């Protein structure tokens, strides 16, 4: 088995990102400005730097900030979020859940990270939050609430998989 996502799995990832954006947007009613002020990108293990490696988790959210002196206008985004995916972790998980659950698993993980971005962008929590465990639990709860009505093959199995986890993604 490959250590990285195949081209077919990258297509599934792109579909999962689109679905995740839509359901997150529907849940939080985000404006275009919300997305502009909180830009993000998704990177697979193949395209991340060493310090961005998600360890044993499915994903790791890295927040980059720019020097305020370099901003040309007040509306310039002063940050970039990078969702760093752990390809082998996904591939390991779908070997037990089944290949068809890959899209649902990716939607869960990407949505989870987008919820973090929304909460950071709305100052509902701080990235340097001391009580990370409680924040992770809150984000898992919100992610499950957002995805409960979503009808994707494998989603019930994925929601059940993350039912009791707090520091997994």
Higher pLDDT, 66 or 17: 17
| Sheet of 40-43, strands arranged across | 40-43, 79-85, 59-65
Q: What is the pLDDT of residues 88-125, one digit of tens each?
A: 999 999 988 888 899 999 999 999 999 999 998 887 77
How big is the chain, counted in residues? 169
Average pLDDT, integer, range 138-163: 95
Question: How high is the pLDDT of residue 70?
Answer: 57
Q: Is residue 71 part of a domain?
A: yes
Domain count of the fold of the chain: 1
CA 104 – CA 152 distance, rounded (Å): 6
Mean pLDDT of 38-65: 93
The upper half-sphere exposure of residue 46, i.e. CA atoms within 13 Å in the direction of its Cβ, equals 8
State mean pLDDT over 61-71.
73
Whether 64 is in a domain gets the answer yes
Domain presence at residue 147: yes
Collect all residues with Cβ–Cβ distance below 8 Å to 1 and sequence separation of at least 6.
Answer: 91, 95
* Distance between CA atoms of residues 137 and 142, nearest Å: 9
- CATH number, residue 132: 3.40.390
pLDDT value at residue 168: 44
Q: Is residue 167 in a domain?
A: no
pTM of structure: 0.88
The larger pLDDT score, comparing residue 131 to residue 76, is at: 131
Q: Which residues span the domain enclosing 140?
A: 7-161
**Tokens standing for 46?**
């193949």
């Amino acid at each position: 088995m490959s250590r990285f996502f195949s081209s077919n799995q990258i297509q599934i990832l792109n579909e999962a990102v689109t679905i995740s954006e839509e359901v997150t947007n529907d849940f939080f009613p985000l404006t275009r400005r919300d997305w502009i002020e909180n830009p993000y990108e998704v990177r697979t293990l193949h395209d991340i730097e060493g310090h961005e490696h998600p360890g044993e988790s499915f994903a790791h959210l890295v927040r980059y900030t720019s020097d305020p002196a370099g901003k040309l206008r007040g509306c310039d985004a002063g940050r970039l979020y990078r969702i760093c995916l752990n390809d082998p972790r996904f591939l390991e998980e779908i070997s037990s859940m089944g290949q068809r659950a890959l899209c649902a698993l990716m939607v869960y993980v990407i949505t989870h990270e987008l919820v973090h971005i929304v909460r950071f962008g709305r100052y509902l929590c701080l990235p340097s939050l001391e009580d990370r465990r409680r924040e992770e639990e809150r984000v898992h709860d919100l992610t499950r609430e957002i995805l409960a009505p979503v009808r994707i093959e494998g989603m019930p199995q994925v929601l059940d998989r993350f039912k009791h986890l707090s520091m997994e993604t």
